[in-house]
Amino acid sequence: MSGPLAALRVVEICDELGQYAGKLMADMGADVVKLEPPHGSSARGVGPFVDDEPGPNRSLNFWYHNTNKRSVVLDLDNSEKDRELARDLINGADVFLEGLPPGRGKDLALDYDTLVVANPSLIHCAITPFGQDGPWANYHSSDLVALAAGGPMNMNGYDPEDASGAPPIHGKGDQAYNTGAHYAVMGILTALVARDASGRGQYIDCSMHEALSSSTEVGLPHWLYTNTNIFRQTGRHAAVIRTERWLHRARDGKDVLVFNIGRSNESWKKLKIWMQSHGFGKQFDEERFDDPSARQAARGGTEAKEIFQEVSRFVAALDADDVYRGAQACGLPWGTVRSPDETVDDLHLHDRGHFVETKGEGLEGRALMPGAPYVMSGTPWEFRFPAPKLGEHTDEVLRELRDPTLG
């Protein structure tokens, strides 16, 4: 079996914004040729690095976001010959994924109007911070700036008693870039399904700003229907009314997400028995706790506050993972607030083969990293080879270009 995109040829010119979109296609079998300038993609300069030593082939950020791609160095800014090679490559490709500033493609004669003449089935996706037109089209962005403008950040923050006057908080891990990349790939694949029927390609204008503005859950509806802005709360959903805390600290110092208590009688009964077996929640046998609506903070329940206080004492007496597992056994969707790296200790994820081993410059042996975002029965995710060294495949790819029977 091979990936669902095994026959797909992609040319990518992307740095931090867009490289994850290339990975999502490469990991499903597409041949993604990444064009880089002679000094390499700026993403090669993003840490952490192997042993904290910077170097074009030592960025772990780059390793992760460029699996299964081939790297070709072309000097598009200074060489017409290299621009011609890029056009030849795109002419033979199904997808051109680029993150060039608006207008730059035209300067390089790598714009859709030029490319479509020779390759009418081309799907050309341009991913940019704010889109191809409009007053902000040429504005610069970053992961922080994008999450600020797009709206997600305004929902993350603190109750005043935890951090008075605190700003909206930037969740880490390039999540603005990731959401932008998800939209780019959804667009490319939609165009691909359309092309399966029509044979024709098209141009896609993917704005990270619009992707993020589409991804803020209940934030927009509250404004659109009641002219109310939600406010930020520590470690739980932003809301228009103050809600009970969701994060409680366990004995080992880790936080646990604790919520959804008392909705169903079945899980409430199990929770009660579990807590009482540890000497907590004796009062829960009283009749006043029997009514589900009395138990729910969101419904203004009278007993809810008391329940949360007792659960908080209970959590403080156990280790976080014991709370997580015990609560799940009661049918409650609680979870340990893990550090990203603690996921590699999760045996369930290993049961599913979620982690794969990669290698690279400066690393002796191999190291685990997350693998498939989805398990597909017919066309599986596949780690074929690690992120390329800068220019690793220049000769190989240009040879194939001259002789299409290769590759």
Partner 1 sequence: MATLPLQGVRVIDLTWIIAGPTATRFLGDFGADVIKIEHEQAVDPIRLGRPIVGDHPTLNNSGFFNYINRNKRSVLLNVRHPFGMDLLKRLIAVSDVVIENFSAGTLASWDLDYPKLCEIREDIIYCSISGFGHTGRDSENTTWGPTAQALGGLTLTSGLPGKPPAGWGYSFMDHTAGYSATIAILMALHHRNRTGEGQHIDLSQVEAATVLNGPAVLDRTVNGRTWRREGLPPGNRAWEPAVAPHNTYPCLGDDRWIAIAVMTQAEWEALGRAMAEPPWVSDERFASNASRLVHQDILDKHIADWTSSRHDYETMELLQAAGVRAAVCQKPSDRVEKDPQLKARDWWQRLSHTELGNTVHDSIAPRLSENPGALRKASPLIGEHTREVFAEALGLTEAEIDEFMEAGVFM
Query: Which residues are the active-site residues?
Result: 237
301 binds partner 1, rule: CB under 8 A: no
Whole-number Å distance between alpha carbons of 56 and 125 = 26
CA distances from 398 to 63, 187, 251, 402, 407 (A): 23, 29, 59, 6, 10
| Binding residues among 170-189 for partner 1 as defined by CB under 8 A | 170-175, 178-179, 182-187, 189
- The set of residues, in sequence order, having a beta carbon less than 8 Å from that of 96 and lying 6+ positions away, is 10, 11, 90, 110, 115, 122, 123, 124, 125
Residue listed under structure tokens 């935890």? 162
Burial environment of residue 239 by CB neighbours within 10 A (0 to 12, 13 to 18, 19 or more): middle
| Smallest separation, CB 211 to partner 1 (Å) | 5
Stretch that binds partner 1, among 71-79, 152-160, 269-277, 395-403 (CB under 8 A): 152-160
Measured from the CB atom, is 367 or 401 closer to partner 1? Answer: 367
Measured from the CB atom, is 32 or 85 closer to partner 1? Answer: 32
Measured from the CB atom, is 163 or 406 closer to partner 1? Answer: 163
| Smallest separation, CB 85 to partner 1 (Å) | 26
Using alpha carbons, select from 35, 106, 48 the residue that is nearest to residue 76: 35
Stretch that binds partner 1, among 79-87, 97-105, 124-132, 308-316 (CB under 8 A): 124-132
Using alpha carbons, select from 150, 109, 112, 155 the residue that is nearest to residue 129: 150
| Binding residues among 211-270 for partner 1 as defined by CB under 8 A | 211, 213-230, 232-238, 240, 246-247, 249, 255-257, 259-260
| Smallest separation, CB 291 to partner 1 (Å) | 19
352 binds partner 1, rule: CB under 8 A: yes
Quote the tokens at residue 377: 């029965």
Site size for partner 1 (CB under 8 A)? 155
406 binds partner 1, rule: CB under 8 A: no
| Smallest separation, CB 301 to partner 1 (Å) | 16
